[in-house]
Structure 1
Amino acid sequence: MIAMGSSSKAIAVIGNVQADLVMRPVAALPPPGEERFVEDVSFRPGGSGGITGMVLAAAGAPVRLFGSLGNDPIGAVIRSMLAAVGVQTSDITSVEQPTSITVALEAADRERSFLTSRGHMETFSKRDLSDDAMTAPITLLTGFFTTPALQPDVAELARQARQNGSIVLFDPGSDQAGWSGSVRDMLLAVIQECHCFLPNEAELLALTGHEDVIEALEEMRQSFAGAVVVKMGAKGCLVSASTNAAAVEIRCVPIEGPDTTGAGDSFNAGFALGLSRGRDWAGSARLGTAIASAVLKQPAMRRYLTPQDLERLDEPPGHDGNQVKNSALL
């Protein structure tokens, strides 16, 4: 069982907050002019920042979620849904733009597809952050590619948080425009200001230009001395704590069910919670894996855990993880 302890350091989550509309199963779009029925539709808080903040708040963690929502009925509903699980919504600004929505199309036998409206997230910027946004002991910067107005300031925000003594985590998400050289340079500049980089496997491969995750990790190790935690879906994650430490594989038990939207963000929540409870990188990754797996088992309209749920969690197999034996990182 996971002993959560009685105290946590405060966490700031800064990033995209929006609405998610998850539809399943959708193996393919219907032909033009035709209609198809689906079995399940779920409307819930979304965005990397929104999901991470929601999971942390519902778990009882001391978290502040910094983001924005449109000043429209959809934004009002998402704000109320976040508040209902304990999110402090006063740090989420309202803007005169339509609230962004992502439509996630899922099916058991295919990779997920997403359609996202730009909406209010186009304008989220440094101006939307309060003066004390970068002062929490732990800071997660996320949703980089969906918040273009914030992008030029992310490296400076990370530097400011680090100077304030914060442990700075960065999960950029995926570049929809194709990972150009300038984008890679911009991301690497942000990463250098952080303590931990949290990509998924596809993002790390795209960023480094490699086809093998171990080679991609080795490439990152040539330019970044901090921790790299690679989320690998049903395979678990890889934790490379430093240039001198062996990479560790954290495995997870496969979860039945196709609705995996938000799994990586739930991992980020568990990872940040682990750090706030004093765990090291690998220990925090084990907690992130356990929480993400448990969240996926929840009903579509309840993608979070209560403090009581956390107390009943089991550690992933292999308490200390498994060293990656075929890596030059050893």
Structure 2
Amino acid sequence: MTQSERHVPVLLKEAIRSLNVRPGGTYCDATLGLAGHATAIARQIGPRGTLIAFDRDPEAMALARGRLDALRETLGPAMPKVVLHEAAFSEMAHRLPAGSLDGLLADFGVSSMQLDEAHRGFSFRAEGPLDMRMDPRRGLTAEQVVNQASEKELADLIYEFGEERRSRRIARAIVRARPVTTTAQLASVVAAAAPAMKSERIHPATRTFQALRIYVNAELKEIQALLEAAPQLLRAGGRLVAISFHSLEDRLVKDALREGARQGIYEILTRRPVVAEAEEMDRNPRARSAKLRAAEKKAVFRGELPRVEAQSGQ
């Protein structure tokens, strides 16, 4: 089974419903991944519609292109126009005209492809190099961060981005174990320094890996840039739909929508986040932590865009 065939988009029905996808509209998938959400959008908007998508991961983009090409063969003349940007979604404001989108979707989760490929270094489930870059052509690797940061810097980023209370103990153990070069080695060091507590069902290295991934990819800054650009990019009546997987992401989305509503920019459509049904959770364990929030732009906005506060990252 190929990566594309294995991919299961999270909260697919809920995302499409929240976007209010209409034939002939222009919709942007800010996190293309393996094109699960994008494929569903393309099927609904028809030949007069436009699908725009962003992804900075060249491997994901190549697989997504193949999937969309296959969809083109299936739909034929019913296929919409597709515009793909191999770029971070923080560049969206510089690449798209103001007021051009009927809907903007962002799924902030790490794709199954990134987690499953050991050479990408995202997961401790398989031995691999400590990379963790979504764009492997740019920036520091997790290995460089782990081996070059001071003990205090490591403790701070593990606490801030992993919400790990035992960050100082973990950072001390990492520094003593240097050089740390593989995912398995790092997971072993963390587990020895901070064993799983009885009340926890996650691997003891989960929060440390999350923290390093967020830092390496400046993920919160990326989300901040998207949330600040969204009011300018959406048409009146256009919708923003964001799917988060941990509290740091969800807090940014929730605060941005609330501030937008306070300023009269948005009508919030999800007073509480939408979560997956039990059937989806059973079928796709990644859906268990997913939270979807949505808002509709009330009118053309010409004032100052709302600021979104995010932790620094890289």
Coarse TM-score class (shorter-chain normalised): 0.3 to 0.5
Q: Which has the higher helix share?
A: 2
Larger radius of gyration: 2
TM-score of the superposition, structure 2-length normalised? 0.37
- Choose between structure 1 and 2: higher strand proportion: 1
Structure 1 length as normaliser, TM-score? Answer: 0.35
